[in-house]
Amino acid sequence: MTVIRKCRSGTGGNTMANVDVSFAGFEALRRQIEGLNSPQEKQACMEECAESLAQVYLRKAIRHKFKTSGGAKEFEVTEKAYERIQAMEVGAKGFQKAKSRNHANAHAVKRIKKSRKSGKKQYLVLTASEHMRRSWGAESVKKQGSTYSVKVFNSASYASYVNDGHRQRPGRFVPAIGKRLVRSWVPGQHIAEEAERTVRKVSKRLLSQIILSYILRGLR
Q: Are residues 108 and 161 in the same domain?
A: yes
Which parts of the chain have pLDDT scores under 50?
1-2, 4, 69-70, 103-105, 176
Contact 62, 136 (CB under 8 A): yes
Q: Using alpha carbons, select from 164, 97, 92, 159 the residue that is nearest to residue 124.
A: 92
Task: State residue 69's pLDDT score.
Answer: 47
CA–CA distance, 53 with 170 (Å, rounded to integer): 41
Q: Are residues 23 and 43 in the same domain?
A: no
Task: State residue 52's pLDDT score.
Answer: 96
Which residues does 99 contact at the CB level (< 8 Å), separation at least 6?
72, 74, 126, 175, 176
Task: State residue 27's pLDDT score.
Answer: 72
Task: State residue 194's pLDDT score.
Answer: 95
Q: Are residues 89 and 198 in the same domain?
A: yes
Q: Are residues 7 and 95 in the same domain?
A: no
Task: State residue 15's pLDDT score.
Answer: 61
Predicted TM-score (pTM) of the model is: 0.64
Q: Is 195 exposed, middle or buried (0-12, 13-18, 19+ CB in 10 A)?
A: buried
Q: Using alpha carbons, select from 126, 103, 105, 124 the residue that is nearest to residue 113.
A: 124
Q: Are residues 43 and 18 in the same domain?
A: no
Contact 93, 109 (CB under 8 A): no
CA–CA distance, 62 with 70 (Å, rounded to integer): 16
Task: State residue 167's pLDDT score.
Answer: 75
Q: Are residues 212 and 157 in the same domain?
A: yes
User: How many angstroms separate the first and last alpha carbons of the chain?
Assistant: 18
Domain residue limits at 11: 2-31
Task: State residue 37's pLDDT score.
Answer: 76
What's the number of domains the chain is made of? 2
Bin 178: left if φ > 0, else alpha if -120 < ψ < 50, else beta: left
Task: State residue 9's pLDDT score.
Answer: 55
Task: State residue 207's pLDDT score.
Answer: 95
Task: State residue 72's pLDDT score.
Answer: 63
